[in-house]
Amino acid sequence: MKKILEKYNLTLLKNSPALTTAVTIIFVITVISALIGLFVNPLFGVILSAINFAMAFLVLYLYYVMEKSIKHIASDMSYRLNRGEQEAIVNMPLGIALYDKYKKIQWINPKFQSYFDDKDLIDVKVEDLSEEISSLIDSDNSNEVIVININEKGYEAFINTELKTIYLYDISKYNDIEKTYDNTRISMGQIFIDNYDEVTQNMTDRTRSNLNNFVTNQLTNWANKYNVYLKRLGSDRFLIIAYMKNLQAIEKNEFSILDTIREETLKQNSPLTLSVGIAYGSENLISLAKQAQSNLDLALGRGGDQVVIKSENDKARFFGGKSNPMEKRTRVRARMISQALQEVLINSDKVFVMGHERSDMDSLGASLGIRRIAEMNGKDCKIIFDENNIHTDVKRLREELRKDEEIDKSIISIAQSNEEFDENSLLILVDHSKQSISINSDLIDKANGRIVLVDHHRRGEEFPENMMLAYIEPYASSTCELITEMLEYQPKDTTKVNKIEATAMLAGITVDTKSFSLRTGTRTFDAASYLRSLGASELTVQKLLKENINSFIQKNKLIESVEMFDKNIAICASDDEIYDPVVVAQAADTLLSLSDIEASYVIARRSDDVIGISARSLGSLNVQIVMEKMGGGGHLSNAATQIKGKDTKEVKNQLIDILKNSDK
């Protein structure tokens, strides 16, 4: 039977026992039925046998034809599949390459070759084609699809290490679509002339008109150059709308329009500066407008003459800020803020005031001033103070405050503030705006918006939200100066500032101005004069600020390590000894008193895992921008930062790299 099946190549019947059994049974039944028919009726049996055998052979013949047809179809399909596989490998829009155990290319399809132009790829090492592909072969992620770049084009790459096969798919078309989309997204911003009212208030109409025309022409030329839509909204405000590609070109130019306006108007004896807030990243124009206004507020809070670019979810980028902030606060604003603070105090059950961690003279003096303002409005005020880890001058002041029983009772610890603070309490922050450096940062969350802020530092990106009142004046020498002005507009028929409070605030101004030698204006001396009239003692201030011998020795040790960078920048880096931050700051200040030094950076260890930098300048160089790049902040001429997980040498190298890549 098998030989017959093999002879006629009936493999389907041969390889299917069930089908063979069925055919055999049918054949046996046919024979039996034919024999029975012969016994019953010979003629009928012969006819029936003939019919049965004819039907059996017909079935076998039809099966034979069917199997031949199936084999033909299968053969044709197999040929087409094989041909299709070959065509697919050769012509499919997917680059394929085989490599050997030495990571040399053995075979490629035409599409893979097209990615590398006419370069001969056979026997070329994979790493010579692409370091990214070579690294992917050796990595644990070799069976994952990643995006790489080859010859400035984007590809999705997949490596089958088992078959030693590289698959590349060109996605540059989709990258171009994405790039076009990103380039044509809308950015919106506002331009504000910082000191327009102050500069133009005494001008004639003709002079003011000429100045307006000059500024408008400069901004219009700048906008046309970068294809930016510019619309004047008022005498001191403009709206700008631009595509992202145009904004990127402006960023690359670092907003030179700021320098142009500042320098050209200065030549006309009408110095104007610009503040700009720009937002992007949202399809909602209302959200863009709100974010742009928020960014402008941030630029103004940092002193003006700068640009803040920020989307809702990204970190802010800053440009400008090269000049000292113009004095924009007036007696009228000081009075309005003072009156607004009165209203907030009257509507509060409890009042708490706190400065930044490691309180200094300005922080503690400002807290005492706020406490007195609260007393003048019939409210008790608690000063949150951390007695630990403070410098000797603050320790001396704290000892003096113990002599005043009323003030001493109002100074509470962090633990006490957590117990006493409730939902109806008012929290006043002084001399800082960053929650992360507050004495008790948890209270800011607990206050739920019932916060007042008084500060003289440039505002940073980290800033409490939904405050009731914020008074930030980067021009002011100190927070004590701001609060002294506010004291002048408090009720006159109440308790007055006592001698130790006035002395503490005068000490705060003295420390932050380096004995009235830096960052002082006419308002600074007015505030000091007012405090003297309240009984502030210069002799007591001198006693409080006296430097002890150990601090003096440490400061000189730091200065001994001085190195010059770019002729006018001094850098000091200590050994691994731990230094008091005040000593580090004093060393930075002392360096500025030396000839030819315009800026100083003093690097020292503050604790086992924290390195601190105190940065100072005379105003011609912006140390704030440098410190912000290292995670800190401050003023144009007075800034600092703290870095964890590095030693002083690493921090020094990082600082030098930043200085080399900036305008210092």
- H helices of 141-204, in order, are 172-183, 196-200
State the CB neighbour count (10 A cutoff) for residue 423: 9
Spatial neighbors of 269 by CB under 8 A, at least 6 apart, are none
Segment (H or E) for 65? helix 42-91
* 186-320, CATH topology level: Alpha-Beta Plaits (3.30.70)
Spatial neighbors of 286 by CB under 8 A, at least 6 apart, are none
Spatial neighbors of 554 by CB under 8 A, at least 6 apart, are 579, 580, 583
Please tell me the least confidently modeled range out of 126-140, 228-242, 400-414. Answer: 126-140
Amino acid at 360: D
Distance CA 321, CA 663 (A): 12
Closest by CA position to 107, among listed 90, 91, 92, 88: 90
Q: Class of 549-660 per CATH?
A: alpha beta
Spatial neighbors of 621 by CB under 8 A, at least 6 apart, are 568, 569, 598, 599, 664
> Which pTM value belongs to this model?
0.62
Closest by CA position to 510, among listed 475, 530, 538, 491: 538
Give me the pLDDT at residue 115, please.
Answer: 83
Distance CA 480, CA 484 (A): 6
Q: Which CATH superfamily is domain 95-175 in?
A: PAS domain (3.30.450.20)
State the CB neighbour count (10 A cutoff) for residue 74: 10
Give me the pLDDT at residue 216, please.
Answer: 93
Instruction: Tell me the C-alpha to C-alpha distance, in Å, between residue 19 and each of 12, 16, 56, 60.
Output: 9, 5, 14, 12
Please tell me the least confidently modeled range out of 251-260, 284-293, 631-640. Answer: 631-640
* Residue range 227-251: mean pLDDT, rounded: 93
Residue that has been written with the tokens 């010859």 in this structure: 151
Any idea what DSSP says for residue 547?
P
In the chain, where the domains are located: 2-88, 95-175, 186-320, 331-544, 549-660
Q: Order of strands across the sheet with 425-430?
A: 411-412, 381-384, 350-354, 425-430, 451-455, 469-472
Residue 136 clears pLDDT 90, i.e. is over it: no
CA 259 to mean position of chain CA atoms: 26
Any idea what DSSP says for residue 315?
P
Q: At 375, is the secondary structure helix, strand, or coil?
A: helix
Q: At 54, is the secondary structure helix, strand, or coil?
A: helix
Spatial neighbors of 425 by CB under 8 A, at least 6 apart, are 348, 349, 350, 351, 352, 447, 450
Give me the pLDDT at residue 593, please.
Answer: 86
Amino acid at 179: K
Residue 239 clears pLDDT 90, i.e. is over it: yes
Give me the pLDDT at residue 302, please.
Answer: 74
What's the pLDDT tens digit per position in 556-587? 989 999 999 888 899 999 887 888 888 888 89
Distance CA 355, CA 362 (A): 9
DSSP 489-535: TS-TTSPPP-HHHHHHHHHHHHHHTTTTTSS--HHHHHHHHHHHHTT
Cβ atoms of residues 261 and 268 within 8 Å: no
* Residue range 359-379: mean pLDDT, rounded: 93
Phi, psi for residue 70 in degrees, rounded to 5:
-65, -45
Give me the pLDDT at residue 664, please.
Answer: 47
Pairing of strands 381-384, 350-354: parallel
Give me the pLDDT at residue 578, please.
Answer: 86
Spatial neighbors of 528 by CB under 8 A, at least 6 apart, are 506, 509, 516, 536
By CB neighbour count within 10 A (0-12 exposed, 13-18 middle, 19+ buried), where does 102 fall?
exposed
The count of C-alpha atoms lying within 13 angstroms of the C-alpha of 377, restricted to the half-sphere facing its C-beta, is 24
* 331-544, CATH topology level: inorganic pyrophosphatase (n-terminal core) (3.90.1640)
Copy the structure tokens of residue 164.
């030693």
* Residue range 497-524: mean pLDDT, rounded: 89
Copy the structure tokens of residue 138.
């050796």
Closest by CA position to 490, among listed 338, 336, 329: 338
Residue 372 clears pLDDT 90, i.e. is over it: yes
Any idea what DSSP says for residue 341?
H
